Structure 1
Amino acid sequence: MFFIDTLEIEGLGNRSYLAGGPRAAVVVDPPRDVDQVIAAAARRGVRIAYVAETHVHNDYVSGGLELARLAGARYLVPAAADVSCARAPVADGDTVEVDENLVLRAIATPGHTPHHTSYALEEGGRAVAVFTGGSLLIGSVGRPDLVEPRLTEQLARAQHASAHRLADELEDGVPVLPTHGFGSFCSSSQAEGDTTTIGKERASNDAFSLDVDTFVERTLAGLEDVPAYYAHMGPANAVGPAPVDLTPPEPADAAQIAKRLAAGEWVVDLRSRVAFADGHVAGSFNFEGEGKLATYLAWLIPWGKPVTLLAETSAQIAAAQRELVRVGIDRPAAAATGDPAGWVPAGEALASFPRAAFADLATACEREEQVVVLDVRRDSERAKGHVEGSVHIPIHELHTRLAEVPAGTVWVHCAGGMRAAIAASLLDAIGRQVVAIDDGFEAAHDAGLTVARP
């Protein structure tokens, strides 16, 4: 009898899988912090015999090579992938025996990347699941534009063909187990629901309901901006990532925090946006530990810039470290915990800024105050409706476009508050007067603000 365990990598919106039988298992698309995978295998009482990559990942650093080394497993990587690390190349149709009567079969599914490979798990010669990586997702497919702009349309067409190949070869009841689609920007759109099958996708996925030309046109039209850190993930995975070090960072006192800020390093406060707004170290940035920390910090920070982490507890620092190593931010320069008053020199006050709702913005506009409304949502979000007269700079561009924000008090908003808090901290750090709107965008119309819609 087989089992399949799902490992949720929530911060990045991905999944990894541990699948096997009574004695041995395969791990598909493991995260960088492999200790959790090893623990999952130990709970099952199985040996990790194989580690399989569906593709060279663009959105996170893989733990595949290190996991294979630690477990003494074979490291399966698509044969056409351009990698320099030691691996067992797999081609279309290749099979490996995971456990007695349990086989993993490689199925070439180019599209997300040219070498992308899915894996069918077969028991007694019949498929019981298919690991689709960045190929067929829940209601979507993996985006085809991460490799080379000149290949994007070709890969989109290949993605359409790969989805049809999976549906042609596998029965409708076979569960589809993708890596992407749960918040990852590697997906061309986000998943609705947690589970699916070949049959469900055949009935609802655009890859099956649209002809190839229409599918390609819609897929390319719907692509979002690519996070900047993606440029560093593929090369790291190709050479073979180093093992991670999750030991506690060097402790930082108030003097060291001030010194690092003066040197132009990033000091990142992981506390909630409410706590940060109430009182924080002047010049620090707010990336909530409970938000999409890895995605947005790695997207905005100049690559290689030293980062010091601030949090209430050491457990929060440890959680942030774990999340950040997954995107190649391997070692914080330092960290501090406890009362924020201890993060500044004695006698120095913490900085703060107000939070508000859209109703407060409407009141300020009625008073004819000098108000700048800054929308930091993505282009696709703004296209569906925006506050009339607002300035638009997506959050991932703001750090390099701060000079474009007009003079006046800046009321900054996103769709719900998290990105607005990041933006407010960036503006506050350069001395701008800022108000963070911690409110859902749907409240803007209800507050009486004019919302322009297409």
Structure 2
Amino acid sequence: MLAIDTPTLGDRSYLVHDGRVAFVVDPQRDIDRVLALAAAEGVRITHVFETHVHNDYVTGGYALARETGAAYHVNADDPVSFDRVAVRDGDVVEVGDSMRVRVRATPGHTFTHLAYLLRDGGREVAAFTGGSLLYGSVGRPDLLGPAHTDALVHHQHASANLLAAELPDAVGLYPTHGFGSFCSATQSEGAASTIGREKGTNPALTKPVDQFVADLLAGLDAWPAYYAHMAPANSAGPDGADLSTPERADAEQIRKRVAAGEWVVDLRNRVAFAAGHVAGTLNVGIDGSFATYLGWLIPWGTPLTLLGETPEQVAEAQRELVRIGIDRPAAQAAGDPAEWAGPDGLVSFPRATFAELAQVRHHRPVVVLDNRRDLEWSAAHIEGAVHVPLHDLPARRHEVPDGEVWIHCQSGYRASIGASILAAAGRRVVAVDDEFDNAGRAGLPVVAAA
């Protein structure tokens, strides 16, 4: 089993082979990674399996099957608009001479979710569980809307227990989600697991159903807005990724794009951005969860220009964006930020620590803006802070009181995004680039929500 990680989205795809032929589970849209791995292993891809219609990324399954001539296996009940090999619970697919893949219905993350159970050499060896049973968790059950959440969370518990009852303890567990993906109900630190290990640790397998349901629902928070566009794209059979370089933008074009209300995004880290950037540009660093937060914040369809230190940085951002269906940036530029600004020059804003915030509050009034998500705020926050989650900030920035704004998150990455949004709107900002755990140590009054 060879994993193909996409850590910025928290997902894994898998390539499995017998030395001659291979199958792939839940490939991402940039299929060149899959093709390169198959070529390196000297195997031919003959089958592609989709566990579900994904909500957090655009699949590469359709494009990979067309590229390789592989059979593309998708649930017969999924309302897709392309030709596929329709599979149902109980079907068995033979791959090569020894691999047998059994289809198992595991509703919960979606109603039509499937797991694929691999038998090789006459024994059960692996379970590819997609968004069903994860390492220490399960896929979240609320992505289809509140009307379906109660039914799906109960399905999720039943599906996890079905797999645990049917499979030997030694069977390896290979989920698609759970490595930082917002498709996971909770996060875990596991890098590998087995059915037996999950029986002793996974809440879906250790808690009574009522307690499991209550605890899981209480722990759910917001998910990225771009998810709304993923299922329609995946149901239509998306093409492969176009990673050709966009046209280059000079300083005049960048200025015009900012003035037109387009998104011009600076990919550099938050330290470099704060020190000097083009006025009106936004900072979503390629060094963090770039695609997640850009996809969450940008109005869908807005023209996008990428600014990076190097062409490689721009190319990396472009690859991440095609995975969530943002296909063609309008323009790009790489190199010296001073050249992006032209005669207008660069602007900047300060960075600070929580200790500096504590000192400042003794001398003058400032607005403390917390842009973490609701559950983070509920766990603990600075007394007197204003709470506007980052994903709500573009629409709710008018709620931020007048005055100098010190904006913070959990560790600094989201604070820089938020600071750039407010600075572009003409606000005076200070980005707190510090770990939230240091707030209390610095003497700031930290309280839990009632």
Q: 1:147 aligns with which of 141, 144, 168?
A: 144
Give 2:216's aligned residue: 219
Q: 1:350 aligns with which of 346, 352, 355?
A: 346
User: Is the CA contact 2:31–2:240 (under 8 Å) kept in the aligned structure 1?
Assistant: no
CA distance in 2, matches of 1:218, 1:153: 13
Asked if 1:428 corresponds to 2:426, the answer is no
Give 2:159's aligned residue: 162
Asked if 1:282 corresponds to 2:279, the answer is yes
CA distance in 2, matches of 1:11, 1:85: 29
Give 1:114's aligned residue: 111
Alpha-carbon offset, residue 13 of structure 1: 0.6
CA distance in 1, matches of 2:288, 2:337: 20
User: Is the CA contact 1:13–1:182 (under 8 Å) kept in the aligned structure 2?
Assistant: yes
CA distance in 2, matches of 1:51, 1:284: 41
CA distance in 1, matches of 2:210, 2:448: 29
Give 1:132's aligned residue: 129
**Cα 1:399–1:197 shift into 2, 3 Å:** same
What stretches of structure 2 of length at least 5 have no aligned partner?
A: none
Alpha-carbon offset, residue 220 of structure 1: 1.4
**What TM-score does the superposition give when structure 1 sets the normalisation length?**
0.98
CA distance in 2, matches of 1:334, 1:405: 32
Structure 2 counterpart of 1:382, one-letter code: W
**Identical columns (%):** 59
CA distance in 2, matches of 1:151, 1:446: 43
Give 1:309's aligned residue: 306
Work out the number of aligned pairs and report it.
449
User: Is the CA contact 2:251–2:341 (under 8 Å) kept in the aligned structure 1?
Assistant: yes
Structure 2 counterpart of 1:361, one-letter code: L
Q: 2:361 aligns with which of 362, 365, 388?
A: 365
For residues 16-415 of structure 1, the aligned pairs below 5 Å read: 16-346=13-343, 348-367=344-363, 369-415=364-410
Q: Secondary structure at the match of 2:138?
A: coil
Q: Deviations over 1:76-100 (max 9, x none)?
A: 0011111111110111111111121
Alpha-carbon offset, residue 218 of structure 1: 1.4
Alpha-carbon offset, residue 125 of structure 1: 2.8
Q: Deviations over 1:107-153 (max 9, x none)?
A: 11000000000001111231111100000000000011112321111
Structure 2 counterpart of 1:45, one-letter code: G
CA distance in 2, matches of 1:453, 1:160: 31
CA distance in 1, matches of 2:145, 2:405: 38
Structure 2 counterpart of 1:184, one-letter code: S
Give 1:418's aligned residue: 413
CA distance in 2, matches of 1:247, 1:327: 17
Q: Deviations over 1:157-216 (max 9, x none)?
A: 111010011011101111111000111110000122111110111101111111112211
CA distance in 2, matches of 1:323, 1:345: 29
Structure 1 counterpart of 2:362, one-letter code: E
Moved over 3 A (4+): none
CA distance in 2, matches of 1:447, 1:45: 57
CA distance in 2, matches of 1:445, 1:214: 33
Structure 2 counterpart of 1:356, one-letter code: A
User: Is the CA contact 1:22–1:99 (under 8 Å) kept in the aligned structure 2?
Assistant: no
CA distance in 1, matches of 2:146, 2:269: 38
CA distance in 2, matches of 1:450, 1:150: 39
Alpha-carbon offset, residue 345 of structure 1: 2.5
Q: Secondary structure at the match of 1:219?
A: helix
**What TM-score does the superposition give when structure 2 sets the normalisation length?**
0.99
Q: Secondary structure at the match of 1:42?
A: helix
Give 1:444's aligned residue: 439
Alpha-carbon offset, residue 402 of structure 1: 0.7
Structure 1 counterpart of 2:103, one-letter code: A
Q: Secondary structure at the match of 1:344?
A: helix
